[in-house]
Structures are given as structure tokens and as C-alpha cells.
Amino acid sequence: MDKNIDEQTKHLFNRSYGDNLTDDQEDELLDQVDAQISEFGWNDTFASWNKYLLSECKTPESVINFANLFWWYGGQDHAIPDPHNFLGYFYYRINFQSDTYDSTDILDSLSRNILSKAGYREANLVHDPQYMPENDPKIIAAARKYETT
């Protein structure tokens, strides 16, 4: 992996989603995301972002912050390789305690969007209005794998 892409990723994610930014600062960050994807492609960008998630986000608060930034940067608009594994890491880190750590339901939104985009009909609320990522056996299995690593 190109060190430069990882440095760019660290710059993008090593901040709080709740930071008060000016419109110009927000635009600059979104331009940096667009530039990173243009330069390296989505697959390498996602690999770098996921690497950051796994290496730097070790607390419930940090994974929720990452999830919010990932959404804000538009990550959910792209195909995510092995989406259950990606989402499982979030639920592993919050120990499936969405009510405690995910007051904005960002993980539900991410899960439904990412899984629907990947072709998993069950995550689409039109097809299953009762779908809850916390009860998805594939997400649960992925989260459990992180317990042993």
C-alpha cells in the first residue's frame, strides 16, 4: 500500500466528526476525498480506510466516529468488499450495544445502505421493514471472528 494514501487517510479520519468546520474546511475535506479516490481508485482508498479502521479504532466511540466520517465522505456510495466483515467490526467494537453507543443510528444506516448496494435484499427496508443489523446472522458471525483475533 502506498504510504501517501495512508497518510491522506489518517488526515481524513484522525479528527472528530463533531468538529465545527467552516464551509470552506468541509469543502476542502470532501475535495481531498474525491482526489484520493481519483488518484488511487476506490478499491485502494477503501483498503486504506479499512486499514485505518482496524488499526486505529479500538473503542466504541472511535468506531462510531469513523462510521460517521465514512458516511459523510460518501463511502457507502461505493461497493464494499466483504460488507458483512466490514460492518461486523463496528458491532464487535460496540459489543452490539447500539443503544449505548450509536444514538444517531449511523450503523443501521450504513448497514442497510452498504448491504442493499451489495445485493442483500434482506437489508432493504422495502423488502424487510423489520431488518436490524444487530440480528443479522452474517454480521454476528463476522463480529465473532474479531473476538478471536
For the chain, what are the domain ranges?
3-147
DSSP state at residue 14: S
- Is 1 a residue whose pLDDT tops 60? no
- pLDDT for residue 2: 60
In sign, the C-alpha dihedral spanning 90, 93, 99, 101 is negative
The average pLDDT across 11-28 equals 94
Q: What is the mean pLDDT of the chain?
A: 93
- Is 20 a residue whose pLDDT tops 60? yes
How much is the pTM? 0.93
CB 9 within 8 A of CB 48: yes
pLDDT in tens, 59-115: 999 999 999 999 999 999 999 999 999 999 999 999 998 888 888 899 999 999 999
Percent pLDDT > 90 in the chain is 79
CB 57 within 8 A of CB 66: yes
The average pLDDT across 23-50 equals 97
- pLDDT for residue 83: 97
Which of 133, 45, 48, 148 is closest to 83 using CA atoms? Answer: 133
